[in-house]
Amino acid sequence: MLHMLSLSLLALLPLTSSVWAVPTCSVQSSSSASAADASTTASSQSASGSLGNNDNKIAMSWYTGWHTNHLSPANVSWDKYTAVTYAFAVTTDDVNNVSLALSSGPLLPVFVTEAHKHNVKALLTIGGWTGSRYFSTAVGSPENRTAFVENMISLVKKYDLDGLDFDWEYPNRQGLGCNIVSPQDSENLLAFLQELRKNSVMQNLTISAAATIKLFLGADGNPMTDVSGFASVLDYLAIMNYDVWGSWSKSVGPNAPLNDTCASGDEQQGSAVSALKAWTDAGFPANKLLLGVGSYGHSFFVSNSSALASSNSSSSSAGTSVPPGTLPLAPYPPFDATQQPKGDSWDVVAADEKDPCGVPLSISGNWNFRGLIDEGLLDHNGTATPGTGFRFDQCSQTPYVYDTKTQAMISYDDVQSFAAKGKFIVDSGMAGFAMWEAAGDHNDLLLDSINAAMGK
């Protein structure tokens, strides 16, 4: 899911620190070949707004207006992206209006100007974790859909946008806790997107969406078996392959697993591999799917006795070398959910702060990649520092780092895991990647890694 403000729950390559680098393997789902075949036969009805193809991979990221002090529009590495989308405009109880109040609205024109200066497409994302409360009513009737379309067209014209991105969390399923939900949400979303696509203003512009690793739910509450209608009107859909494990889980697990089909039953909670199979099996071609990747991770309170593996244990299932001076970690250890460790310096909540549902907020425990480096758990190359615990899981292709003092174990992504995901994108015929979020990276280490793996 995409986070907002301080809300909780939100071919091998040369790597930066190659002396201990875990080799990336070719992770491919059993349906990758069929997915790639499907992507070559499925034609896009919105090709004029497309951001790329299998020969020109999409490199996209979300830019958060509330983190402009950490990454201003002028300092975005525009030449490394094909598109960047501004987060978020949130839905309101008035179908004729969305709000940019929490995302530094006056910054949006600056963002668009900078993007266009560098020949990069500038999009605006509608929704997000805290911004999806009124999606259901906005698309819930023909009259509302038409009004919402006109609302979107007004945004495009006002800000000179190159497209719109929709992040509804979630159709026919509760997200934040006070979202309006209807069994017809997915059906109504498709009807809205079809009407939006027919508008003459959108003929040559991008319409995209973000979704979880699970398929949209149908009116019966089960995952839809046919999502080809969405593929016909969307230029691409980003599968948000993160927040798979977190404080809601039974044990520590990977935030953004590339693969889980190689894990034991209890450890199979979803992954890029299984998500790609689910979406392509339901009729969404691989070459219109982006892999959502996270520049952050989740922390868990794990006692030293549970976290640290025996001295003769390997921190990798394949026995590959680990950063010098680090301690081996146990896989999938239990954690104490009553003691949520604080995240990095961004993880700050005011004493009286509440979410849009009126529920008091607490710390999220999230760590951005840049925060792990700033706090010294990783060095300037993104390598775990001596004295920390470290494990790179070969199945999920993700790392863990452990602070023995605070007893915080963090599941995150690094250069190696991003390289593995970039290679998977190429091997499986996906369209590219979408990173949450641009400001979470450090000196473009993650961005450069995934771009290089995709051959960009």
- pLDDT at residue 310 in the model: 79
- pLDDT at residue 320 in the model: 52
Q: Cis ω on the peptide bond leading into residue 170 (within 30° of 0)?
A: yes
Does the residue 398 lie in any domain? no
Does the residue 318 lie in any domain? no
Q: What is the amino acid identity at position 382?
A: G
Nearest to 346 by CA among 309, 296, 392: 296
Strand partners, 366: 298
- pLDDT at residue 328 in the model: 96
- pLDDT at residue 149 in the model: 98
Does the residue 18 lie in any domain? no
Does the residue 109 lie in any domain? yes
With contact defined as beta carbons under 8 Å apart, do 243 and 9 qualify? yes
**Per-residue pLDDT tens digits of the chain, which is 456 residues long:** 444 443 333 333 333 333 233 333 334 444 444 444 444 334 334 444 555 443 589 999 999 999 999 999 999 999 999 999 999 999 999 999 999 998 999 999 999 999 999 999 999 999 999 999 999 999 999 999 999 999 999 999 999 999 999 999 999 999 999 999 999 999 999 999 999 999 999 999 999 999 999 999 999 999 999 999 999 999 999 999 999 999 999 999 999 999 999 999 889 999 999 999 999 999 999 999 999 999 999 999 999 999 999 765 545 544 456 899 999 999 999 999 999 999 999 999 999 999 999 999 999 999 999 999 999 999 999 999 999 999 999 999 999 999 999 999 999 999 999 999 999 999 999 999 999 999 999 999 999 999 999 999
Nearest to 137 by CA among 129, 125, 147, 128: 147
Other CB atoms within a 10 A radius of the CB of residue 67 amount to 19
Strand partners, 206: 163
| Structural domain boundaries enclosing 77 | 32-296+413-453
Does the residue 11 lie in any domain? no
Does the residue 20 lie in any domain? no
Crossing angle, helix 415-428 and helix 32-41, to 10 degrees? 60
DSSP code of residue 250: S
Q: What is the amino acid identity at position 433?
A: F
- pLDDT at residue 192 in the model: 99
CATH code where residue 286 lies: 3.20.20.80
Does the residue 8 lie in any domain? no
Nearest to 29 by CA among 290, 349, 207, 259: 259
Strand partners, 154: none
Give SS3 for 66.
helix
- pLDDT at residue 313 in the model: 53
What gap in Å lies between CA 301 and CA 236, rounded to an integer?
37
Give SS3 for 433.
strand
Tokens at 20, concatenated? 């201990």
- pLDDT at residue 9 in the model: 35
Does the residue 389 lie in any domain? no
Domain total of the chain = 1
- pLDDT at residue 322 in the model: 84
With contact defined as beta carbons under 8 Å apart, do 61 and 435 qualify? yes
pTM for the complete prediction?
Answer: 0.89
Other CB atoms within a 10 A radius of the CB of residue 17 amount to 15
Give SS3 for 324.
coil
